[in-house]
Amino acid sequence: MTAWQPSASIAALKQRAQIIQQIRTFFAQRNVLEVETPLICEHTVSDPYLNSFTCVDPTNQQTLGFLQTSPEYAMKRLLAAGSGDIFEITKAFRQGEAGKQHHPEFTMLEWYRVGFDHHTLMDEVDSLLQLILGVPAGERVSYSQAFENTLHLNPHTATVEALSHAAQQTDATIHFEQRDDWLDFLFGHVIGPGLGHGKPTFLYDFPASQAALARIRPDTPPVAERFEVFVNGIELANGYHELNDPVEQEKRFTDDLAKREQLGAAGIPIDTKLLAALQHGMPACAGVALGLDRLLMLALGVSNIAQVMSFTDPLSHLHDTA
Partner 1 sequence: MARYNTSEFKSGLKIMLDNDPYNIVENEFVKPGKGQAFSRVRVRNLKTGRVIERTFKSGESVEAADVIETEMQYLYNDSTEWHFMVTDTYEQFAADETAVGDTKQWLKEEDRCMVTLWNGQPLSITPPNFVTLKVTDTDPGVKGDTSGGGSKPATLETGAVVRVPLFVQIDEVIKVDTRTGEYVSRA
Min CB(188)–partner 1 separation in Å: 5
Q: How far is CA 166 from CA 115, 142, 159, 183, 193, in A?
A: 40, 19, 11, 10, 16
**What mask, x for binding partner 1 by CB under 8 A, covers residues 90 to 109?**
------xxxxxxx-------
Min CB(52)–partner 1 separation in Å: 15
* End-to-end Cα distance, the chain: 20
Within residues 13-52, the interface with partner 1 by CB under 8 A covers 47, 49
Peptide bond into 221 cis (omega under 30): yes
231 near 203, Cβ under 8 Å? no
Within residues 113-152, the interface with partner 1 by CB under 8 A covers none
30 near 52, Cβ under 8 Å? no
Which one among 24, 30, 119, 189 touches partner 1, defined by CB under 8 A? 189
Min CB(25)–partner 1 separation in Å: 26
275 near 250, Cβ under 8 Å? yes
Window contacting partner 1 (CB under 8 A); options: 2-10, 31-39, 269-277, 313-321? 313-321
Which one among 235, 242, 256, 293 touches partner 1, defined by CB under 8 A? 235
In angstroms, rounded to a whole number, what is the distance separating the alpha carbons of residues 211 and 224?
A: 5
Q: Which residues are near partner 1 by CB under 8 A?
A: 47, 49, 96-102, 170-171, 173-174, 176, 180-181, 184-185, 187-189, 192, 210, 212, 228, 235, 238, 264, 289, 318, 320-322
